[in-house]
Amino acid sequence: MMPTQQRILIVDDDPNLLELLRLSLERHGYLTVLAQNGIEGEDAFTQNKIDLVILDVMMPQRDGFTLCEIIRGQSAVPIILLTARQEVEDVVRGLELGADDYITKPFNLREVIARVGAVLSRIDRQKSEPTRTLTIGELTLDQDKGNVRVNDRSVTLSPLELELLHYLMSHPGKLFEREGLLQSVWGYDYFGKTNLVDVAVRRLREKIERDPSAPEFILTVRGKGYRFAAENEIPRRTK
């Protein structure tokens, strides 16, 4: 039996770019569905079984941020944003709305293919992980439910945030450089000038830490990277 081909929804108001991405992705064995604005994109998403969404941020009628929020409210399907801007506020907003990754225009098509493959591989890896629940201190991560409990507070995480937290919690006390996290969690070597790891950690801290400016769980090792605190380092919280 032939393996099922994965279907990718591409939403961009530039018809030339749409066709370029379609040809490149189909050449690498993917099926594609195309839409030229956010309204068409939502219709295409609801009418097709989509495995991944590539979504332009700046579009008429309905921008990519709005469509990202709509899709994330219905599904955990991975979302890669295309943006012509690199401001940290855009990255934060995209991650906050549940995007898994972003690519800055202009981009190399080989990079797009690598990112798509990495995100889909990460989803497959998540499904095969034997340990679905982790508890350290008063923080419990449940991958099946897609949430975290901190003391008595429930927190909902995006798929990417779940993966990052699961990876850090699986190695308490271990130092990870940013490049290592990018490779292990996002699944590719590209680092360049992006601050993707820092922004993702920042968003995660805002959700799970009592005081994000003085974190207890995800610790910064100055000049090196991040590590998840060992259980004996985490102070007991009072209810």
Query: Contact, 9 vs 51, CB < 8 A?
Result: no
Residue 40 pLDDT: 95
Query: Quick one: 152 and 113 in the same domain?
Result: no
Instruction: Tell me how far apart the terminal alpha carbons of the chain are, to the nearest angstrom.
Output: 55
- Reported as a single tens digit per residue, the pLDDT across 107-158 is 889 989 988 998 888 877 766 666 678 888 889 998 777 779 998 888 888 7
Query: Quick one: 112 and 133 in the same domain?
Result: no
Query: Quick one: 106 and 18 in the same domain?
Result: yes
**Rounded Cα distance, 120 and 66, in Å:** 23
pLDDT at 102 over 90: no
Structure tokens at 211: 């005081």
Please check whether residue 116 lies inside any domain of the structure. Answer: yes
Query: Contact, 162 vs 141, CB < 8 A?
Result: yes
Please, which residues bridge with residue 155 across strands? 148
Block residue for tokens 């923080």: 139
- Reported as a single tens digit per residue, the pLDDT across 46-96 is 999 999 999 999 888 889 999 999 999 888 899 999 987 766 677 778 888
Block residue for tokens 């994330």: 72
- Reported as a single tens digit per residue, the pLDDT across 27-46 is 999 999 999 999 999 999 99
Query: Quick one: 171 and 107 in the same domain?
Result: no
Please check whether residue 238 lies inside any domain of the structure. Answer: no
Better pLDDT: 201 or 1 = 201
Residue 52 pLDDT: 96
pLDDT at 100 over 90: no
**Rounded Cα distance, 95 and 196, in Å:** 9
- Reported as a single tens digit per residue, the pLDDT across 179-219 is 888 888 887 765 554 577 888 899 899 999 999 999 999 99
Please check whether residue 72 lies inside any domain of the structure. Answer: yes
pLDDT category at 168 given cuts 50, 70, 90 is very high
**Cβ count near 106 (within 10 Å):** 7
Please check whether residue 2 lies inside any domain of the structure. Answer: no
Domain hosting residue 98, numbered range: 7-127
Lowest mean pLDDT among 8-12, 21-25, 184-188: 184-188
Which helix (H) or strand (E) is 102 found in, with range? strand 101-104
Query: Quick one: 29 and 107 in the same domain?
Result: yes
